[in-house]
A and B are shown apart, each in its own frame.
Chain A
Amino acid sequence: MNPSYALQAEDVAIHYGGVKALDGVSLTLEPGQIRGLIGPNGAGKSTVIDAITGRRRLTRGTVHLKGQDVSALGATERRQRGLSRSFQRTSVFSQMPVRKQVELASHKMGVADSQADADAVLRELELLDLADITADELGYGEQRRLDLALALVGRPGVLLLDEPMAGLSVKESHDLARHLKALTSRWEVSVLLVEHDMDVVFGISDAVTVFELGRVIASGEPAAVRANPRVREAYLGSAA
């Protein structure tokens, strides 16, 4: 496997009996790269995130982080090796103050000064002024940013985001996309972005991969993917 890739998933398959949720998916992330992952509902986008992070057991295939095979490791161990994720539904600790939970996450990542790390991430995501209130008091958009903050502490090498803009207003989506783009370039985080907002995906991604029925049907630079007739037929349609 190529150690120059931040993430390399090779021939990944997840089968449920006769149902092939993923079938021979291969994709890579270069350091600092944002790869958009698009496709119709049920195409297997979230499943590929679950497969890479260890939430679901692979039927076949391997996952490598910087050339190291992590396929046999659990979710916690993969996180400790720099593979982080957010969830389709906001996933925060609702009854815990914002700073406390981000600081806890940072501590679990082994950051020496977890307080400073937590504050840096909160400042970056414009949550520092809300640090002392509990997560259930935050607005939805703020909770999505907190979700992202929990995934970002400890400066992970790879970040897998599952529809981070879901439920946000247009302005909130663009704000979050702006934060994301700035962070990936400044902190050299590689991002796999599953998202239905095509403006966001094509606006901030360096590469785009298209899924259909658990398989990759196209992959490449955003402009080339957007122009691909099969992609237009399968997913983008006239919206492109």
Chain B
Amino acid sequence: MKLLTSLPTRLLAGAVVGTALALSISSGTVLSLLTQATIYAVFALGVGLLLRQNGMVSFGHALYFGSAGYGVGLLLQQQVMPAELALLLTLLGLGLVAFLIGLVIVRVPGVAFGMLTLAIGQVFYLSASRSRGLTGGADGMNIDWPARLFGIELSLLLQPKGLFLLSWAVLLGVMAGLTLLLRTRFGAITEAVRDNEERARFIGIRTLVPRAAIYALSAMVTGLAGLLAALNTGFVSPENLHWSLSGVALMMVVVGGYKALWGPALGAVVYFLAKDVLGDYANHWMAIFGIALITVIVFAPTGLAGALGPLLRPRAPKPARRTAPAAH
């Protein structure tokens, strides 16, 4: 009950922070930076979800980030459906494709899984780069957004404040949705499969579908970020599918920490702040960020969220133990 009441409180706090940021920042450049950070926070949330619930590292989630832009761009080119339906179909299509891919690749453990995601992602990257007739090839393609989206004038939505608030709302919505979903029986099943797949099978859990479902869900979250990016830039190119983008998202997850749902989002904010602040002083800011990454891995393996979490949580008494652990 306490948890149920705390989620709306957190949502409200998040909404207040987002609105305050939008109202108090007048610089379009800063708001644009914050919008990018928020979009990447959603991206990192998808990658972090896979790691948190499946214990799996993906080097290929840019596949879903970029494909979302291509998907909606190609559907809008056909001019056979409203943009809102195109968005929905793109997202559902990505989820379905990811689920089918997941049914095959989540059977593969450890590093081999990461390599598979990398290979699949790069296949799509090369295909998009060379399909000039369909995707514009290496030059990319513009996305023909309509004048109104969800009843709102596009010009209004594309203003720095509008786009930031939209991205922020999506971030909060995704986090709230995932929080609720992971509290259900489905969440418990995925935790059990992650912790001990063999034992999970021997308590009657079929382990393949939950793993594939989490993979698909993480792809859809990443796809949402891809749709926001497509709206933000009005453009999509093979760079949006490149593995290095997946690597950036993974760095955000490592820096922010994946055990808390909000960790990857925090990692994205830190990454963009570092990029902006360090970028002013050093051309090779990534080298400095790399050192910071190593520091986090060594000294705070659970990421910033893991280090900050205990400080932010109200101190609750630990459940009492009736007996001391047996010596062994």
Residues of A within 8 A of B (CB): 53, 74-76, 79-80, 84-85, 87, 91-96, 100-101, 104-105, 107-109, 129-130, 132-133, 137-142, 150-151, 153-154, 167-169, 172
Contacts and interface: CB of A to CB of B under 8 A. Distances in A.
A93 B322 contact: no
Given A139-B328, A141-B326, 11 more contacts: A75-B201, A85-B202, A91-B202, A93-B200, A96-B192, A101-B192, A108-B204, A129-B323, A130-B322, A132-B319, A139-B326
Interface of B: 185, 188-189, 191-192, 195-196, 198-206, 318-328
B199 A87 contact: yes
A109 B204 CA distance: 6
Nearest to A114: B185
A138 B325 contact: yes
Contacts of B204: 76, 79-80, 105, 108-109, 154
Contact of A96 (B188, B206, B323, B325): B188
B194 to A, nearest CB: 8
Contact of B195 (A85, A94, A167): A94
Contacts of A169: 326-328
Contact of B192 (A104, A130, A133, A154): A104
Given A129-B322, A130-B321, A141-B328, A93 B192 contact: yes
A139 B196 CA distance: 18
25 contacts: A74-B201, A75-B202, A76-B201, A79-B202, A87-B198, A87-B199, A93-B192, A93-B195, A93-B196, A93-B199, A94-B195, A96-B191, A96-B192, A104-B185, A104-B189, A130-B319, A137-B321, A137-B325, A139-B324, A140-B328, A142-B326, A153-B203, A168-B328, A169-B327, A169-B328
Contacts of B319: 130, 132-133
Contact of A133 (B191, B206, B321): B321
